[in-house]
Every structure is written in structure tokens, then in C-alpha cells.
Amino acid sequence: MNFLKVTDIKDIEKLILKKIPTLKGKKEICKLEDSLGRILYEDIKAILNVPEFNRSTVDGYAIKSRESFGASQGIPAFFTLKGEVFMGEDTSKKLNSGEAIYVPTGAMIPNGADAMIMIEYCEILDDTLLIHKPVSKFENIMLMGEDVKAGDIILKKGSTITPENVGVLASLGIYELPVFKKFTFSIISTGDEIIGEKEEYKMGKIRDINSYTLSLAIQKFGIVVEKKIVKDNFETILEEVRSSTKNSDIVLISGGSSAGNYDYTSKVISLLDDGEVFVHGISIKPGKPTIIGRSKDKLIFGLPGHPISSMVVFNIIVKKLIESLYLQEDKDDFYYGILSQNVHSTPGRTTYQMINKTVENNEIIINPIFGKSGMTTLMTKSNGYIILESDIEGLEKTSRVKVYKF
Amino acid sequence: MNFLKVTDIKDIEKLILKKIPTLKGKKEICKLEDSLGRILYEDIKAILNVPEFNRSTVDGYAIKSRESFGASQGIPAFFTLKGEVFMGEDTSKKLNSGEAIYVPTGAMIPNGADAMIMIEYCEILDDTLLIHKPVSKFENIMLMGEDVKAGDIILKKGSTITPENVGVLASLGIYELPVFKKFTFSIISTGDEIIGEKEEYKMGKIRDINSYTLSLAIQKFGIVVEKKIVKDNFETILEEVRSSTKNSDIVLISGGSSAGNYDYTSKVISLLDDGEVFVHGISIKPGKPTIIGRSKDKLIFGLPGHPISSMVVFNIIVKKLIESLYLQEDKDDFYYGILSQNVHSTPGRTTYQMINKTVENNEIIINPIFGKSGMTTLMTKSNGYIILESDIEGLEKTSRVKVYKF
């Protein structure tokens, strides 16, 4: 048993990738309308200009800008009305000197025109347009390629698809996207005391918690293929873990990783086909009794049984690993705030302190949440955590801290 | 035409609820594992204590704490070993003076014991346990109800279900939740220039953008029942809007709300069954030409055609309204930062300035993003907005600003 040879949290990812060099994000194609939250597998390049023609950004009249110079409320400039461009029309109209052509918002600017004057500044007398202010060259026109130039990278690989960035894809006629295939997960809760949704509660038992918290956390970027509860029987655990390595990319075993009597996880992994445990203990708090191993190219985590420890390890190791495999560049999972009280850390271990936030005078105040580590409500009350590195003893009240969201 | 009677943004929600008093969130039941992101319809009260029994938080021995007082590395305290409590067992064992019983993490503390000593501090000689440090009363025990007391409100109505807060629900055996039913939406893009995914592109046309951005934005809290593109023909628009009011709770009409030649939206709404337009223009920038109306109890928005204006109006009106109908209390959609340059606003209109953020020296720097309002890339480049109230002229560089996320 090499329980005390804990691994530094900073080395975990490198170690996993060294042990399973084939572990990486794979590609699949996703429809634009199903792409919310998906991560781009490749850079997306513009194959066209946007707009593809000089486009009016207002309802008004296309003119030659230099013919408006000097126009004012008192001395209007005069133009001869020459019809209109219709919405969606590929116009062949040509604007000559002294002429104005009506163009609605979004429609094509006729050849010869170089500016749009908004209808608000216009007056019409029979076939004549009077304008009361000058417009400058290209005013109220979006030029061909001004929004996006053909060949530009418009979204980088690793970008998360949001409502804001599908717009540019749709404008280019890109309706299918190369995204990272979601990793598949099995969740196995172990323990004689654990009972599931369909079992009747008996005094002394504990309802399965971690499979729900983990399952919802995974849904943000992966697929939960199966969830099962297994009693503390070595053969049964071995069989169930073995079958899970066939069903999914990553197996999470919850519980069974402490130094207690019923610690089977490590032994189970080593007995699997080409099985190996390469992390047994990590220098973090909470979450120290974490096991990481593999069976061939399948990754296996033995997570601590305490709900908060389990979520901390999931967030700082499993989630960060997947983000890294997904080449995620635009993680928006942190903010800064001011600590409301002193926080102590455990020397030699990186400490993850649960916090919640309040707002005072345009400043975010970070309040540490304390409580026993088995408490489910500790997590409900917190909305993030701060990290105390292993080489510091604590952080003082009023320190400026970086907060990570779950 | 009452186009110039713009409504103040602050009055919009009150006005909508006055015009459609029946508009409110409805209840439905959701399974715990499908509840990610759903909003609680009612307070959730604990029906049980958590834990339901005094539970060990460590692997070790249950003892009477006062019998450990004075124990040290040099002078251990001695106890007689009296077997063990098994995981998940409703133990009837009773601990007498001078005895110790093994209890693993999560198992029930036997009657008569009031503390747990971790195995790390224990030594065993035959049937005798030697402990090398004292433990205080209730040390390493989570008392019945210490995490959650029966009757406590554990999650308030309006809370968003997160991975962190399903744990406490599962621990209580709550596997079904009362959540707000998702509002259903129809999205209608209007305009002769607009072409859809299946239409062939022709010069002068513009690909439909808003139905994709809106559709993904809605997916965060609602259901898109249908998306359609309708040419600028009055009768067709009328028929399509009428059928959409039958198919969904809220109809979003994109485009057709400006003062241009092809402005049918307002007229269409007024011709619907019990139809009424009660907002035609809002004192905001961008997004001024927004129409809000109803047909009986169905809510109809005429959104501006420009992609950014459309998303701004969606976020500050439609999304905020739904959040309010969902009684959302835990919105986590803002942060603070320092403005990197001066920003000007439009007097008399509340201005929404797109921004992106960078990080320098533990501070979030907010960079305004400028560009023409029809640009799709403006949105791709920004990850939120700041609000400039209608009574200020602008904000100076280095101002501390509140940023809202999309």
C-alpha cells in the first residue's frame, strides 16, 4: 500500500496523459441549433464575406455623399428620386449624379452610391428629395466583408458555443459544426450503507448522494451512460468496474477510497485487464484519498465518499482534465472578490475552501463557509471555492481572492 | 402610429403584467436527474433529519470522550475492544465504560459513545485499544439533524438546480421536484431578404441569424416550439402570427418593427383575436423599435431586426420577465470590473454597451466593444454588457462598473 506517497495536484494531468497517451477529445458533427454549450473541435474560418454586398444599415436614401456636403436645416440639398431597391433584391440599378434611390435596412446599395441618408432627415416634394444634413462617405453602409472577411478565423477551436456566437455562423450559412464528442461516464457508488432511489430506507443506511451531484456536474460536458450502486463485496465491485470500463470512457467510483477496512478500489483497478493505479492520494484538502488508475485506455477515478470532497475532486481534476482535452480557451469560471474573514490552510496540501458571495458597494464579498466535511448543506450554501496553495498558511481578511465556480 | 411615445424600460414588466394578468409560471414535476438548470416552483422543506442517526465522519473507534482525557504519546489510554459496527447496520450495540467499538466512516455510532478516535491515533494489542491523544465530546461525529433538521427549508422557490444542490435533495430521498414549467416560444423571422437553412443563397439576400441566436438563448429556460421565416406579405404574416399564438405562450417576431416601408408587425398584432399593441418603442439603445403586444393571454414581441439589438432586447426584457415569473432569486449573471476607456451614452435612453473582459493584476478590466449595429461579430467578440442609465452622459475610464452576462 503506497497510500502515503501522495501526488501533487499540479502533476496529476501530466501523469494521466503519460499513462494514457491515447486520451484525447474526438470530433463529431453537431447541428447549429443543437450546439448550445458544445465546444468547437476546429477553428471555424469564414468561407464568404459578411455582408456579401454593400448593405444599408438604415431605412433611407442612397446618394453620392459629396452631393450632400453643405446641406443644412436652412439650405437643403436636392436630389431626383429614382425609385427603390427592394429587400432581398440583387439590384442592377445604377445611381447617377444628383439622384437618390430608396433603400430599406438590410438591402443592397446600388452602384454609384456611397452613403445612406436616414428618412428622418429627408423631405419629399413630388419627385424631389430634400435632405437637411450632410452624410459622410460610407455613412450608414456596411461594406462588403466589413463584418467578416472571407478567410478570417471567426471562432477558435476550444470555444464554447453560446447564443451570442451562433449568429456569425448562421450569417455564413454554417449550419453544422465540428465539436468535441462528449466523453462518456459510468458512475459507481460503493458501500453497504448506500441505498438507491428504489430501495426502502432503513435506519443506519445513507441515501446515495454522489451519483446525483456527479451526474448533474457531468451533464454540462459529458454523458452519463450508467449509474449503479454496488455493495462492499470485492468480486461484485470488480465485475461492475470491469463492465463499466467497457461501457464508457471514464469510470467514477464513489466511496471506497479511504484507508478503512473496506478499501477495495485500488485492488480492483490493479486486477483489471492491463490495470494500473498510478495515483493513490493527492496533496489536497479535501479530497486527499483520491485514486486514479486505468484499465487499458479507460480512465478510472476512485473519488472520496464525502459529497463535498467528491465534488471538489471532480471539479479540480476530472472537469479540468476534460476542459484541457477539449482545448477550452474561453473558460469563464472565475471572478474576484474581497475575503470577509481569515482563512487557514493545511500546510503541504492545496486547500479548497468553499465560499459564498455577497455584494456591498459595488464589490463582491467572499464569505468562507465552514462545517463538517460530510455535510450536504455546506455545498448548497456555497457557490464556489477559493484555492490556498500548499506553501501558504492562510489568507487574511480583506485579501483580494480569485473565486472558482463549480 | 404612436411610434414616438416610447415606453421607459423600467415600466415594461409592470405594463405586460397589467395587460396579461394571467401570465405566470406554472408548475410541473421533474425527476432529480433531469433537473439541471430547472427553477424550483416551491420551497423544499426537509421531511427528515440528515443524518437520521449519529454518524461517524472517520474510520476509527467509538468511545466515551471523557475516558480519553489525558491520553498522550507517552501515556496512552486503554480500552477493551468490543467488536464493530458494520456499514449500513442499524446497530443495537451498547458501549459501556472502558470499551471501544470499531465504526467505519458513515456508519452509526453505538449508544453510550460520544466521540470517535481516528485509527491513525490508535494501536491494538490483542483485545486492547491504546489511544495516544484525547478526543472531545462529539468529535468526529455528525449528530442526527446536524446537517439538515426536519422542517428546515433547504432550497427556496426560485432556486436554480445545480450539481451542488441536488446532493441535499438526494440525501433526503427527494427524487422528484416541483419546478417551473418551461414557457414555449415561437420564433418568426420576417423579411423578403431573409433566407433559411434550406434555401439557396442569392446575392442581395441575408441569411436568417436571429432565429438561431434567439433559439439558443431560449433553450436556457424555455422551449422553442417552432421557427419559421415569413416573407413581407401582410396576409401571410398575419396568418403565421395567428397560428403561432395558438402553438406557444410567447411569440417573437424578428424584424419588421422599424419605421420603414414594410412595418407590418404592429398592424398584424392589432388585427389578431383580442389583439392589442401596448408598447411601440422603448427608450433604450440599441433596441428602440421594439413592439410588445398580445392576443388574448399570449404575449407577442416585435424585436428589432439587427442581431445585437434583437439579443439585447431579448436579454433585458424577455429573459428578465421570465426570470421574474420564475421568481428567480439566485441569479448569478453579473460581476464587477474596471472600465478601460470612456463610454458615452445617448441622453434620454438607457444605453446597453457591449463589452469584453480581460484580467490584469487580479482585477477584471472591462473593454467596450464598438462597431456598427448590424455586425454579427460585435456579439461574438463581447461577453456581456454594461448599462448606462438614461440620466447620465457617460462613464469615465477607470469607473467601477457592473457587468451583465448574456
pLDDT (0 to 100) of residue A256: 58
Predicted confidence pLDDT, tens digits, chain A (406 residues): 444 578 999 999 999 999 999 999 999 999 999 999 999 999 999 999 999 999 998 899 999 999 999 999 999 999 999 999 998 899 999 999 999 999 988 899 999 999 999 999 999 999 999 999 999 999 999 999 999 999 999 999 999 999 999 999 999 999 999 999 999 999 999 988 889 998 988 998 989 999 999 999 999 999 999 999 998 889 999 999 999 999 999 999 998 545 444 468 899 999 999 999 999 899 999 988 899 999 999 999 999 888 899 999 999 999 999 999 999 977 778 999 999 999 999 888 999 999 999 999 889 999 999 987 678 899 899 989 999 999 999 999 999 999 999 8
* Chain B stretch 4-63, residues whose beta carbon is closer than 8 A to a beta carbon of chain A: 32-33, 35-36, 50-53, 55, 57, 59
Residues A394 and A293 in one domain: no
Q: Would the CB atoms of B400 and A362 count as touching at under 8 Å? A: yes
Contact B107 A163 (CB under 8 A): no
In the predicted model, what is the mean pLDDT of residues B391-402?
A: 94
Rounded Cα distance between A263 and A269, Å, is: 12
- Chain A, 181 to 200: residues with Cβ < 8 Å from chain B are 191-195, 197
User: In this structure, which amino acid lies at residue B19?
Assistant: K
Q: Residue B166: which of A192, A213, A377 has the nearest Cβ?
A: A213
Question: If you measure CA to CA, which chain A residue comes closest to B36?
Answer: A216
> Cβ contacts (< 8 Å) between B162 and chain A: which residues?
216, 406
Is there a domain that residue B119 lies in?
Answer: yes
DSSP string, B11-65: GHHHHHHHH-TT----EEEEEGGG-TT-BBSS-EE-SS-BSSS-EESSSEEEE-G
Q: Do B91 and B214 belong to one domain?
A: no
| Residues facing A365 on adjacent strands | A338, A358
ipTM of the complex: 0.92
The pLDDT of residue A288 is 87
* 3-state DSSP percent of chain B in helix, strand and coil, to 5: 20, 35, 45
Residues B271 and B196 occupy one common structural domain: yes
Q: Which of A142, A168, A191 is the last residue of a domain?
A: A142
- Residue B164 belongs to some domain of the structure: yes
Collect all residues of chain B within an 8 Å Cβ-Cβ radius of residue A202: 88, 90
| Domains of chain B: total | 4
> Contact B197/A208, CB-based, under 8 Å?
no
Q: What is the CATH number of the domain that holds A310?
A: 3.40.980.10
Distance from CA of B66 to the nearest CA of A (A): 22
Query: What is the pLDDT confidence band of residue B256, given thresholds at 50, 70 and 90?
Result: low
Check residue B323 and give left, alpha or beta (phi > 0: left; psi -120 to 50: alpha).
Answer: alpha
Decide if A2 is inside a domain.
no
Residues 6 or more apart whose CB falls under 8 angstroms from that of B146 comprise A372, A375, B51
Residues of A in contact with B193 (CB under 8 A): 87-88, 106-107
**What are the backbone dihedrals phi and psi of residue A160, each rounded to the nearest 5 degrees, phi first?**
-90, 135
Whether residue A156 is found in the same domain as residue A249: no
Angstrom distance (rounded) from CA A22 to CA A249: 11
In a domain, B149, yes or no: no
Whether residue B41 has pLDDT greater than 80: yes
Give the end of a domain, one of B325, B360, B382.
Answer: B325
Q: Which of A399, A283, A402 shows the shortest CA–CA distance to A336?
A: A402
Interface test mutation site (partner A, options B33, B87, B214, max chain A beta carbons within 10 A)? B87
Residue A393 domain-assigned? Answer: yes
Residues of chain B with C-beta less than 8 angstroms from the C-beta of A147: 372, 374-377
Mean of pLDDT over chain B: 93
Same structural domain for residues A251 and A279?
A: yes
- Determine the Cα–Cα distance for residues A330 and A323; give it in Å rounded to an integer: 10
Q: Residue B186's pLDDT is what?
A: 98
Task: Tell me: do B316 and B207 sit in the same domain.
Answer: yes
Residue B290: per-residue pLDDT: 92
Structural domain harbouring B78: 55-142
Q: Is the pLDDT of residue B5 over 80?
A: no
In a domain, B99, yes or no: yes
SS3 A66: helix
| Residues B214 and B307 reside in one and the same domain | yes
pLDDT digits (tens, 9 = 90+) for B134-188: 999 999 999 999 999 999 999 999 999 999 999 999 999 999 999 999 999 999 9
Mean pLDDT of B196-212: 91
- Can you read off the three cell numbers belonging to residue A365? 464579498
Contact map slice: B 303-362 vs A, CB within 8 A: 305-307, 311, 332, 335-336, 362
Chain B CB contacts of A227 below 8 Å: 33
How many CB contacts within 8 angstroms connect chain A with chain B? 271
- Here the CATH number for the domain that contains residue A70 is 2.170.190.11
Residue A267: count other Cβ atoms within 10 Å of its Cβ. Answer: 14
Tell me if B104 and A260 make a contact (CB, 8 A cut-off).
yes
Which CATH number fits the domain that encloses residue A389?
2.40.340.10
Give the domain-ending residue among A307, A325, A343: A325
Q: What is the CATH number of the domain that holds A173?
A: 3.90.105.10
Pair (A130, A76) in one structural domain: yes
Could you tell me if A94 and A162 lie in one domain?
Answer: no
Contact A204/B53, CB-based, under 8 Å?
yes
Nearest to A373 among B57, B172, B212 (CB): B57
CB contact under 8 A, B164 and A205: no
Task: Choose from B109, B335, B376, B405 for mutation: most chain A CBs within 10 A.
Answer: B376
Residues 375-394, chain B, touching A (beta carbon < 8 A): 375-377, 379-380, 382-383
pLDDT in tens, B84-129: 999 889 999 999 999 999 998 889 999 999 999 999 999 999 999 9
Whether residues A105 and B258 touch (CB distance < 8 A) is answered with yes
Locate the chain B residue with the closest alpha carbon to A354. Answer: B164
Q: Which three cell numbers stand for residue B285?
A: 439603445
Clarify whether residues B175 and B193 are in a common domain: no
Q: Taking CB atoms and an 8 Å cutoff, what residues of chain A touch B145? A: none
A201 and A306 belong to one structural domain = yes
What's this model's pTM, rounded to 2 decimal places? 0.93
Query: Quick one: average pLDDT of B36-40?
Result: 96
Same structural domain, B167 and B34 = yes
**pLDDT at residue B373 tops 80:** no
User: B residues 252-291 near A, CB within 8 Å?
Assistant: 258-262
Q: Which residue of B has its CA nearest to A140?
A: B372
**B interface mutation test: which of A35, A203, A376, A378 has the most B CBs within 10 A?**
A376
Q: Which residues of A touch B175 (CB under 8 A)?
A: 197
The DSSP H or E segment spanning A247 is helix A234-247
